[in-house]
Structure 1
């Protein structure tokens, strides 16, 4: 009987985490560059039940011992681009492809969640591009929030106050006022006097394995292992475009996360009733059966 209590309690914890994840997504519906988070649940290892009689053991079957929320997975799908009209606002429009290793000249067909599953079950995620920023400790961070500003000495700063990097990994600085911040579709800064690229480009990192990124909050991510994430700066062959005067909206699917939140609440409630049932049964066993 107690095993059922533990299983129901594990279910309640899992559903609470699912509910928390859904409410986090809803709270960030209008957060620039926010990427939806999905909670992934898995079952605990099964237990093999056997019956022993007269020194002979006979297998009865397997017993599931509950479920747990193993991890939270970020969805890096493109969000809608919203025009802001501000020269220091930028958005990335990307459609990065991966060549099929089994068919030269063709590309993997990613599904709606941005992943491809091979016939062998191997999962490949669509590469993603991010603006590259740097914190005060010199750590590189990655964000899709292109709401930038220009500091008093010409340094370009992210919404979180981090230094925006150029394609050489150096802090991006301007020599004129904010209205001189002009870029082309590839992120090259334009010289106002000549109207031509100045030779400096906004640092846009292409991350081949975005599943290796770790969410830091405030719209930024970091990579514990940059080699495993396969991070590089973008080049002219990458299918991406920088849109000045635009911001990328959150990619949260409001309808789906609302359904997920309600489903988690109902499942939590069902597990709660199971625990109440076990509690009532134990109470009868202690108070009533003992008297007989």
Structure 2
């Protein structure tokens, strides 16, 4: 009998390259550590030849159906967009503690299963060849608390506006008033700023999946938005009054936060025609993230 049957952890194949051109495999637990409406999150660590070997990570698995490469690409593209926006925004923010950075997931497929995958009861067993996301583990940072700073409906964690509020407004400005980015969650490091994951967008044409609530979602964001000295002169939607229907757009799942919610993004119904740089000024900015979506297998 093959010894491969007695692996203790699930394992992925080699991932697509990160922005340093390195590929990694992930070894991840057979039981999830957190669950969101659309994904389950597993503790993991990276293996490979690059400098991130041994790094603690998470593997994100789509809950309702086996993940596809298109689903992963849509998620990665959102992060690439968020990273480009954040780099441009950070040039206006002098204090390092106010700067913003987004994680960049990798994609890979499942190669082999650990024993627990068969022993424990799951809502859905993993399939070989299904696509998953590999990402930095912000949920269990021992020195910094994972927080939802701005929810997908625009609700804010604190009373006073921060650079994150200005960043939300900045995404509306930089997109030519076509979308607004929200759902900002992650950790804050005093001397380094915010490190965030799983951004969400509401857009004029509802291009970004089920969590995209369209113009009504954009109005809801700005109804709760508080400008600060960075963004107070920037344009807002001409009508951002929120009626009862706008409030009903956001379900309990959409505003769920904390470790129990884990990952909130829906990525299985993103419009495949979206190029993710829809007439935005940042499309010609730094190319750090270019080529990330290329299949590295």
For the pair shown, which has the larger CA radius of gyration, 1 or 2? Answer: 1
| Structure showing greater relative contact order (alpha-carbon pairs closer than 8 Å, 6 or more residues apart) | 1
Structure with the larger strand share: 1
Normalising by structure 2, report the TM-score.
0.27
TM-score by length of 1: 0.27
